[in-house]
């Protein structure tokens, strides 16, 4: 059966919905493959190539095919897997957003992913630049699991600029998945289809930043169709990247300020391995903000105003009551000491 399914998947224009109709009409996958003149020889070669590259191809009937993905109305005909999928990956949350995020969006995506992964939740995203990459990176920082869903073949990690991140996901036990054949290049048409798999593999979807017409919004709308919970992080009302999340909130998405908002909503379907306070600092990357012995009073004052959420220098100046030149000098000293990290746009966060 796998050979016939792979062959049908190679036929252009045949997706899961059309396959269901043909199966109802013809009664078997063998009859469908014959009707479509599906390339069985190429399918055999595809299966052989996948095995040689240590890749897996799961059919819908395979017990290794994610059960959570079977629940959507148009699950992939076959699923290509690079790396490892595990049963606990059904305990999952997707984090998606714009490819051109603000420093705030990047920090939120990474922090949410780090905290959720630190609680034993698998993070799903699309390996795109921006929010997706930050989500994967945050999960890896926590030593957690993360799954990247591609709009290309799994043997061609895209975008090329995130190839190293993809290798890191695999090296640390995660997975890269796709419904597209080996060697398939991404196209504008492939990403909307890809997005249904991101939401389909997840119990809920968090949208951090994205315009109204963005891919993140497509994922959110697909999640709603699939009966998944949708969470939206509010942002600056003057920012284009806030339009998508704010529209979702108006439509009833959960306004999300922390992972507690997610866990409160999904407490009946998500299993959480809550660490103790000591482990929270190690696993979730929380900073133990204490005045260090070698800090001068004004250094301690500036340091106390910072957190893992990016803060712009003008706001730091206003909150501290110090002169801007003084604040700039102190921030530079704290950066040299490895206590503070600068971000684009003159934002700063604690390390």
pLDDT at 301: 86
> Residues near 267 by Cβ (< 8 Å), separated by ≥ 6?
none
d(CA 138, CA 170): 15
Give how far Cα 247 sits from Cα of 19, 154, 219, 231, 301, Å. 35, 33, 14, 11, 38
Same domain, 36 and 49: yes
pLDDT at 344: 78
> Residues near 324 by Cβ (< 8 Å), separated by ≥ 6?
313, 317
127 confidence band (pLDDT: 50, 70, 90): very high
> Residues near 91 by Cβ (< 8 Å), separated by ≥ 6?
120, 121, 122, 203, 270, 271
Same domain, 73 and 118: no
Count how many Cα atoms sit within 13 Å of the Cα of residue 268 in the half-sphere of its side chain. 2
Cα 149–chain centre separation? 8
pLDDT at 284: 42
Give the structural domain span for 240.
87-278
Same domain, 134 and 234: yes
With a cut of 70, say whether residue 276 has pLDDT above it: no
For residue 21 the two structure tokens come to: 């109709």
Same domain, 131 and 208: yes
Q: Looking at the domain assignment, is residue 209 inside a domain?
A: yes
Same domain, 105 and 182: yes
Encode pLDDT of 298-351 as tens digits.
888 898 888 877 889 999 999 899 999 899 989 988 888 888 888 877 888 887
More confident residue, 280 or 9: 9
84 confidence band (pLDDT: 50, 70, 90): very high
Same domain, 26 and 47: yes
pLDDT at 278: 35
Q: Looking at the domain assignment, is residue 240 inside a domain?
A: yes
Same domain, 306 and 341: yes
**Region of 332 on the Ramachandran plot (φ > 0 left; ψ -120 to 50 alpha; else beta):** alpha
Cβ atoms of residues 60 and 188 within 8 Å: no
d(CA 197, CA 179): 9
290 confidence band (pLDDT: 50, 70, 90): very low
Average pLDDT score over the chain? 90
d(CA 147, CA 127): 9
How many residues does the structure list for the chain? Answer: 351
Q: Looking at the domain assignment, is residue 52 inside a domain?
A: yes
Same domain, 27 and 50: yes
With a cut of 80, say whether residue 242 has pLDDT above it: yes
Q: Looking at the domain assignment, is residue 145 inside a domain?
A: yes
- Residue 109's closest CA among 282, 231, 280? 231
Among candidate residues 83, 111, 135, the one where a domain is terminated: 83
282 confidence band (pLDDT: 50, 70, 90): very low
With a cut of 90, say whether residue 274 has pLDDT above it: no
Which CATH number goes with the domain that contains 118?
3.40.50.450
With a cut of 50, say whether residue 291 has pLDDT above it: no
Mean pLDDT over 7-28 rounds to 94
Same domain, 118 and 228: yes
Encode pLDDT of 169-227 as tens digits.
999 999 999 999 999 998 877 888 999 999 999 999 999 999 998 999 999 999 999 99
Same domain, 95 and 215: yes
Q: Looking at the domain assignment, is residue 286 inside a domain?
A: no
Same domain, 155 and 229: yes
Q: Looking at the domain assignment, is residue 14 inside a domain?
A: yes
65 confidence band (pLDDT: 50, 70, 90): very high
Compute, in degrees rounded to 10, the torsion defined by CA atoms 90, 92, 98, 102.
-170
d(CA 351, CA 333): 14
Encode pLDDT of 245-263 as tens digits.
999 999 999 999 999 999 9
pLDDT at 294: 63
Same domain, 182 and 261: yes
Encode pLDDT of 142-172 as tens digits.
999 999 999 999 999 999 999 999 999 999 9
Q: Name the percent of the chain in helix, strand, coil, to the closest 5.
A: 45, 15, 40
Among candidate residues 65, 83, 101, the one where a domain is terminated: 83
- Residue 327's closest CA among 303, 310, 343, 293? 303
Tally DSSP H helices, then E strands, for the chain.
16, 12
Among candidate residues 83, 98, 113, the one where a domain is terminated: 83
Q: Looking at the domain assignment, is residue 283 inside a domain?
A: no
Percent of the chain with pLDDT over 70: 94
When divided into structural domains, the chain yields a total of: 3
Which CATH number goes with the domain that contains 331?
1.10.10.10
d(CA 86, CA 36): 34
> Which residue bears the tokens 């994967």?
136
Encode pLDDT of 217-237 as tens digits.
999 999 999 999 999 999 988
288 confidence band (pLDDT: 50, 70, 90): very low
Q: Looking at the domain assignment, is residue 289 inside a domain?
A: no
């Amino acid at each position: 059966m796998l050979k016939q399914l792979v062959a049908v998947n190679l036929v252009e224009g045949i997706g899961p919905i059309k396959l269901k109709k043909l199966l109802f009409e013809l009664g078997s996958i063998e009859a469908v493959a014959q009707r479509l003149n599906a390339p069985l020889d190429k399918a055999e070669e595809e299966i052989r190539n996948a095995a040689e590259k240590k890749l897996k191809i799961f059919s819908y009937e395979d017990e290794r095919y994610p059960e959570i993905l079977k629940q959507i109305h148009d699950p992939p005909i076959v699923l290509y897997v690079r790396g490892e999928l595990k049963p606990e990956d059904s305990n999952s949350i997707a984090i998606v957003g714009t490819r051109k995020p603000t420093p705030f969006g990047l920090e939120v995506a990474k922090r949410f992913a780090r905290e959720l992964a630190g609680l034993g939740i698998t993070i799903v995203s699309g390996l795109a630049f921006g929010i997706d990459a930050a989500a994967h990176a945050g999960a890896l920082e926590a030593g957690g699991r993360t799954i990247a869903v591609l709009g290309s073949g799994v043997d061609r990690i895209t975008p090329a600029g995130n190839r190293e991140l993809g290798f890191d996901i695999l090296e640390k036990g995660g997975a890269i998945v796709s419904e597209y054949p080996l060697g398939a290049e991404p196209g504008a048409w492939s990403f909307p289809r890809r997005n249904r798999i991101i939401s389909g593999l997840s119990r809920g979807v968090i949208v951090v930043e994205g315009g109204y017409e963005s891919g993140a919004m497509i994922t959110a709308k697909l999640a709603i169709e699939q009966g998944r919970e949708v969470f939206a992080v509010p942002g600056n009302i003057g920012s284009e990247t806030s339009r998508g999340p704010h529209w979702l909130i108006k439509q009833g998405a959960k306004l999300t300020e922390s992972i507690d908002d997610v866990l409160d909503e999904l407490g009946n379907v998500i299993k959480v391995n809550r660490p103790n306070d000591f482990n929270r600092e190690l696993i979730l990357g929380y900073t133990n903000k204490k005045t260090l012995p070698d800090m001068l009073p004004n250094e301690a004052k500036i340091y106390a105003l910072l957190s893992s959420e990016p803060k712009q220098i003008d706001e730091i100046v206003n909150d501290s009551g110090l002169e801007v030149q003084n604040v700039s000098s102190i921030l530079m000293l704290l950066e040299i000491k490895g206590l503070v990290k600068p971000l684009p746009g003159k934002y700063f966060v604690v390390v």
